[in-house]
Each structure stands twice: as structure tokens, then as C-alpha cells.
Chain A
Amino acid sequence: MVAVAREVTPPMLFVDIRKQFRATGSRPFLLDIRETFAPGFTVLFGPSGAGKSTLLDCISGLLRPDTGVIKFNNEAFFDSALHLSLSPQLRRTAYVFQSLALFPHLSVDENVAYGLSALSSPEQQERVERILPAFHIEALRRRKPGELSGGEKQRVALARSLVTQPQLLLLDEPLTGLDAALRQAILQDLRAWNAANRIPILYVTHNREEVDAIGERVVALINGRVQEWRSPCRPRCPAEYGAGAGGRVRESVARARGRAAPR
């Protein structure tokens, strides 16, 4: 008997798109991306209006790019040449918005179970029971989103997205407005989840501390185009971006900071 070694290909997201977009109160940009995203965290870093949320909207199927291709492994999400665009329902992609968008009229466990309607009742129950403790929200299950604190809401939003066992996770500034301790705690839960479920995670932020805290891989987006730094980030991380058009990376400052902070 010959044992056949099976090669498991890690799930990869391939994005090659162009899209005209306009951030509020500025000139229109062209979002022009050609990137491959591997499993694990990829931080999408850049100033407001650089196109980060637009990119996530395109990947999730909420927005249609003007031209290009989006593929996950060998499944085409979008292909302008073939006039093909898979609806968001079918992309098995989880997306946590900056505003979280928790359903205000449903309780926490109803929110979390919302994406599981295709499963049988016992299966839904089992998955919900497993994820609530993983994000430390079992005590909140009967509450409505209006009765939750900021950190609790973030956790519910994450649990709701991850309980569907997505093949891709998109996070748009998910930890804004939380204090450092809370951010650390939630990131820890997320990392634990990622260790068990290796999928591509795109984490959008304009907060440098988060970049450093997560930093497996950083992709910087300025005015719709990509400049990238591979991990480990230091000492070549951009210290700051100028707001608006033509933000520049002050590399010398970054280098000086890198030298000043011993690791």
C-alpha cells in the first residue's frame, strides 16, 4: 500500500482590482491593488480616505470594482472580464464594520446565531455555546446591544462573524474607542481563535500601536495604492503619514525610533 502524501494548500486571497472612489470631502482616487493575502493577520495601514474600507467592501461583495479579479483559492469572487460577481451571501466572508452594525432589536445570542440559519437547530445551538465563552460573552446572551458596553459590543460583533466559520475575515478598525487593556484582551481572543483557524485576516487600522501589536504583515495603503513592509515591522515601519494627498514616509525618524527602543 502506498501512502499518498496530501499537500494541503493554505487558503489564499488574491486581489487585483481597480476602482474609482471618493472619500468624503476629497478628490476622487483610484484604488489600484494587486496583492495576495495569506492566512494570518495582514494589517492594512493608512490614513483615512486611503481606500481601506473601499477595499474591504469590494472583497466582501458589497461594492463592485471597476475592473479586475478577486479570487479565493480557485474560486472567483469577482471577474470583470467574465461579468462575474459573487453575491456577499455566497463568499463565506466575515466582515466586522467600524460601526459594528449589531441588530438592535435582537438579543446577543440571536445576533450571534443570525448567520447560522442554514444549519439545524442543535448544530446552531452547539456552535453558539462554543463561541460565547471563547469571547467571554455568555453572561450577556439575553441582553440587547443597547445594553452593552463598547468592549462587549465588539466581542459580540466578532463572535457573530466568526461563528459562521468563515474562510476569510475582514476587520475595519474593530477596536477604535476602546482602552488599551480592553484592546489587548480582545486581540488575545482573536489571536487564540486565529491559532485554531488559520484563515486570511485583513485588519484595517490607522492606529500605529495596533500595527505594532498585531504586525504579522503590514500593507500600507496611501491614496489607493500599496506600499508594503514585511514583518518584523521595525525599524522600517512608517512613523507617520501626512493627511491627504502625497503623504510621505519619514524613514529617518522611524529608524531613529527603532534604535531608541531596544527589543
Chain B
Amino acid sequence: MNLDALLLSFRLAAVVSATLLILALPLAYWLAFTRWRGKFLLESVVALPLVLPPTVLGFYALIALGPRGPLGRLWQFLFGHTLAFTFAGLVIASLVYSLPFAVQPLIASFESLDRRLLDASSILGASRTRTFFRIILPLSWPGVITAVVLSFAHTLGEFGVVLMVGGNLPGVTRTVSIDIYDRVQALDFAAANRMAFLLLFISFIVLAVVYGMNRRVWSPWLAK
């Protein structure tokens, strides 16, 4: 078992899901509660990573993060090297790749709230921020947990994007999924099997939690 690759994968998934939550909350709030005719365009952009082949995403990420890309040049200016083949580059590419997995459960949760609760909060004098933290968020826990768990699991399983952007550097960008691929190429099926099974097991637990949560104790609050 390649412990380095496993720890790297977990580190990547943890950083990405935490960061994604912070980015996805305002985006999901805007998409759920704003009425704008052009909203469908933004929704399409957010959902793109769901249908785009990972190598397409990985390719564009490589260009953007490389020495000639906008992000790459900025990073180079700040830190002296490009983002391609770095952990930071993986994080940025993964944020885009897992974005819909964080945003969509949040939108579903927000939209299922009784609007009159938000109205009542405004009428009682609460600002939009206060309404968000005291009413919307506490009543959207299933959505938040689903968003974190799904983006974590999704990032854990990344392959195409990581391969393109990461460069397969051991300890830096060689995640478990890449390592499994390497082991198979090297005909070491035993090692590949161990890691593949572990990922399978973790993914299953994750999904069981998500599905189990969406029908339990939280339902009375979401009823409307």
C-alpha cells in the first residue's frame, strides 16, 4: 500500500472540499434566491464539469496554470514557479472539477426552504446576512453535509484532471487513482487491487451517509 499516495489524495480532497464550501455557499445562495433572466447561463457553466471529459478540463487547466497561462504567470510572479505539476495547481483544477458537486446540493437545500421563513426573518428586522446564518444555514444542514461529502469523494477519485495537471510526481501530485493506474501498467495487480478496493469502500461509505442523511431526522424541518 502506497501510504504517500493515499495521504496525498486525502489531503487534496480535504483542502478542496473545505475551500469549495466557502466558494459554493455564496454562489448557491445567488443561484437559489436571485431572479435573473440570464441565470441559466451561469447554471450551465457551473454544471459543465459534470459532462466534460476530465481530460478536456485537465487540458485547459494545464494551459491556464502553465507558464503561458494567466494563472500560471500570476503564480510565477508571486512565487517564482508555475502551478503546473504542483499540489496548489491540483487544488485549483479540482475546485473547478468538483464545483457542481458542492453547488447543486446547496441549491437544492436552499430552494426547499419555505420562503415565508425568510420573509418572516426580514420583517422581524434581520439583515440578509443574519437571515442566512440564523435561518437558511441551520435549516440546510443536509445540503451542506452532502456538498462537503460529495466534493470530498469526487476529488478523491479524480484521475484525468490530476494526470494532466499534476504530472505524476511522487509525494507531490501522485494521488491514489494515478498510483493504481501506475501499478496496473507495471503489472502489479495485487497492489492495485488493495488501493482500488480501499477507494471503493470509502466511496460506498460516503454515498451511504449521504443517502441515509437525506431521509432521516432532518425531514420535518424541510417539509413544505
Partners in one complex: yes
What is the interface of chain A, defined by CB distance below 8 A to chain B?
60-62, 87-89, 91, 93-95, 97, 99, 101, 103-105, 114-115, 117-118, 146, 160-161, 164
Residues from chain A with Cβ under 8 Å of B68 in the complex: none
With a cutoff of 8 Å between Cβ atoms, the chain A residues found around residue B122 in the complex are 61-62, 87-89
Given contacts A60-B123, A117-B126, A146-B220, 19 further A-B contacts (CB under 8 A): A61-B122, A88-B122, A88-B123, A89-B122, A89-B123, A89-B127, A93-B123, A97-B119, A101-B119, A103-B120, A103-B135, A104-B221, A105-B138, A114-B121, A114-B126, A117-B125, A161-B124, A164-B124, A164-B125
> Smallest CB-CB separation from A99: which chain B residue?
B116
Cα A118 to Cα B126 in complex, Å, equals: 9
Are A97 and B125 touching (Cβ within 8 A)? no
CB nearest to A60 among chain B residues: B123
Q: Is the CB of A99 within 8 A of B114?
A: yes
Nearest CB in chain B: distance from A88 CB, A: 4
Q: Is B194 on the interface with A (CB-CB < 8 A)? A: no
Residues of A within 8 A of B135 (CB): 103
A104, B139: Cβ atoms closer than 8 Å: yes
CA distance A161 to B121 in the complex (A): 11
**For A89, what are the chain B residues with a Cβ–Cβ distance below 8 Å?**
122-123, 125-127
**B interface list, Cβ under 8 A from A:** 114, 116-117, 119-127, 130, 134-135, 138-139, 220-221
Most chain A beta-carbon neighbours within 10 Å: one of B117, B120, B122, B126: B120
Tell me the nearest residue of chain A to B220, going by C-beta.
A146
Q: How far is the CB of A183 from chain B (nearest CB, A)?
A: 22
B110 to chain A, nearest CB (A): 15
Instruction: List chain B residues, Cβ under 8 A from A118.
Output: 125
Nearest Cβ on chain A to B44's Cβ, whole angstroms: 29
Query: With A and B bound together, what is the CA distance between A87 and B134 in angstroms?
Result: 19
B128 → chain A, closest Cβ, in Å?
Answer: 9
Q: How far is the CA of A161 from the CA of B134 in the complex (A)?
A: 18
With both chains docked as a complex, state the minimum distance between the C-beta of B113 and any C-beta of chain A, in angstroms.
10
Choose from B114, B125, B127 the contact partner of A101 (Cβ within 8 Å): B114
22 A/B residue pairs, CB under 8 Å, sorted by A? A61-B122, A61-B123, A62-B123, A87-B122, A89-B123, A93-B123, A95-B119, A97-B119, A99-B116, A101-B114, A101-B119, A101-B120, A103-B117, A103-B135, A104-B139, A105-B221, A114-B121, A114-B134, A117-B130, A161-B124, A164-B124, A164-B125
Residues of B within 8 Å of A62, CB to CB, are 119, 122-123
A101–B117 Cα distance when bound, in Å, is 5
**Chain A residues near B114 (CB-CB < 8 A):** 99, 101
B121 to chain A: which residues have CB within 8 Å? 103, 114
Alpha-carbon distance A164/B123, docked complex (angstroms): 10
Q: How far is the CB of A16 from chain B (nearest CB, A)?
A: 22
CB proximity of A101 to chain B, nearest CB, Å: 4
**CA A20 to CA B122, docked complex, whole Å:** 24
Beyond A62-B122, A89-B127, A160-B124, whether A101 also contacts B116 by CB under 8 A is: yes
Contact check, A115 vs B119: say whether CB atoms are below 8 A apart. no
Give chain B nearest CB distance to A122 CB in angstroms: 19
Among B124, B127, B130, B220, find the residue whose CB has the most chain A CB atoms closer than 10 A.
B124
Complex: A60 Cα to B116 Cα, angstroms: 13
Instruction: Contacts A62-B119, A101-B116, A101-B120 given; indicate if A115 touches B125 (C-beta within 8 A).
Output: yes
Chain A residues near B124 (CB-CB < 8 A): 114-115, 160-161, 164
